[in-house]
Structure 1
Amino acid sequence: MKKIVYGLFFGDSITYGEYDGVFGGWVDILKRYALQKFHEGNGDELILFNLGIGGETTEGLLKRMPTELGARNSADGNLVFIGYGANDLAIKEGIQVVKPETFKSNIIKAVQHAKQFSKDIYLVSILPVSKKIDGVVVSSGKLRTNEEVVAYNQILKDIAVDHSLMYIDFYAAILEDKESLLSADGVHPNEKGYGMMAEIAIPIIEKYL
């Protein structure tokens, strides 16, 4: 009998797919891919939920995560993807939105929530920012630096090791060509960048199809 597995993607606007008017972002590409494979009659059904909210930090994640997990819990199993940090590390009016130690604590709490529903938990790296906005206050009032991106990604990597989780390193994949893979705002990928992220993630979801 075929299984129905759920994939839950928690994150901010980069999970949501903001600024991609072509594909709708990397998670939506994966959704279409999984559906196509199911219609071709290949293996189990994998239903993916894009739970990305623009501007969200790990503080917002913790408020909604237990409810979201409970509402989308497949008896056949769940995959959980957690992609946060781009908003947490931002500095607004001279104050870091979510400080590194709080970010670490919030991600660990999120992982503990996820472990009640899933054995397959993936932490998603934060993307580099374009050099034109590195250390610059943008129109949203936020300032981001690549130095902070590296520091917060290290927190995610350490948690992945300590809790035996998988880490998806989009940062390393995009770094070299970031200026051509990021959109005009210097934070979100463009359709080419999102497409590259999806290519990296497809082999991960393949295992469940």
Structure 2
Amino acid sequence: MKKMIYALFFGDSITYGEYDGVFGGWVDILKRYALQKFHEGSNEVIVYNLGIGGETTEGLIKRMPHELDARNSAEGNVVFIAYGANDLAIKNGSQMVAPDQFRENILTAIQYAKQFTNDVYLISILPFSKNVDGVQVASGKLRTNSEVLVYNKILQDIALENSFMYIDFYTAFLEDKEILLSQDGVHPNEKGYGMMAEIAIPIIEKYL
């Protein structure tokens, strides 16, 4: 008997797939992959792309209980949490979400997720291009790669403490980031999103 499993991807514009006019981003690639596998006889994994551009963990914890309530499969749920690129940004002289608050918010999000599933994945923040590292961009945000390391360490530690899997896109991007990031230096390009999907497909396959 085939099962219907919901995979919920919470995140910002990188989850949403911004700047990818070809594939629609890594989560949408996973959505198509899961659908194809279902047609071939696998379990049905329904992928929900719940990415919102510009969102921080402050927005996540406000909407997460409602999103989870609205999408709860009796046969199984998987939750992916991908935040930090906006939280760590400095805007108008202060960080949008300071590291300690970021940690608290992620822990709150995990508590919400645990009411629906034990399968929670925390996703690393990507490195930024050298062109935007420490540079205030048009949106007024300033981001640094040194802060990425601080926030990723928080995510890694939480994953370890809770026996969750940490998906390390950061390391995968680091060496070739100038090739894998779009011109804005923050979002992946089609090649970058494609690589993210390749890394995540084996995780999705566990539920198929």
- The normalised TM-score by structure 1 is 0.99
Amino acid at match of 1:160: A
Structure 2 CA distance, aligned partners of 1:208 and 1:162? 24
Structure 2 CA distance, aligned partners of 1:163 and 1:40? 34
Structure 2 CA distance, aligned partners of 1:205 and 1:2? 15
Q: Secondary structure at the match of 1:127?
A: coil
Counterpart check, 1:73 vs 2:72: yes
Residue in 2 aligned with 1:8?
8
Structure 2 CA distance, aligned partners of 1:112 and 1:99? 20
Q: Secondary structure at the match of 2:135?
A: coil
Residue in 2 aligned with 1:192?
191
* 1:1-209 superposed matches below 5 A: 1-41=1-41, 43-209=42-208
Structure 2 CA distance, aligned partners of 1:138 and 1:179? 17
Structure 1 CA distance, aligned partners of 2:160 and 2:154? 10
Q: Secondary structure at the match of 1:22?
A: coil
Structure 1 CA distance, aligned partners of 2:71 and 2:92? 37
Q: Secondary structure at the match of 1:134?
A: coil
Structure 1 CA distance, aligned partners of 2:54 and 2:139? 10
Structure 2 CA distance, aligned partners of 1:119 and 1:109? 15
Gaps of 5+ in 2: none
Q: Secondary structure at the match of 1:98?
A: coil
Q: Deviation at 1:93?
A: 1.3
Q: Deviation at 1:179?
A: 0.2
RMSD: 0.4
Gaps of 5+ in 1: none
Structure 2 CA distance, aligned partners of 1:72 and 1:91? 33
- The normalised TM-score by structure 2 is 0.99
Deviations 1:4-26 (A, max 9, x none): 00000000000000000000000
Identity %: 77
Amino acid at match of 1:10: F
Deviations 1:59-114 (A, max 9, x none): 00000000000100000010000000000000001100000000000000000100
Deviations 1:2-61 (A, max 9, x none): 1100000000000000000000000000000000000111x2110000000000000000
Q: Which runs of 4+ in 1 moved over 3 A?
A: none
Amino acid at match of 2:174: L
Aligned length: 208
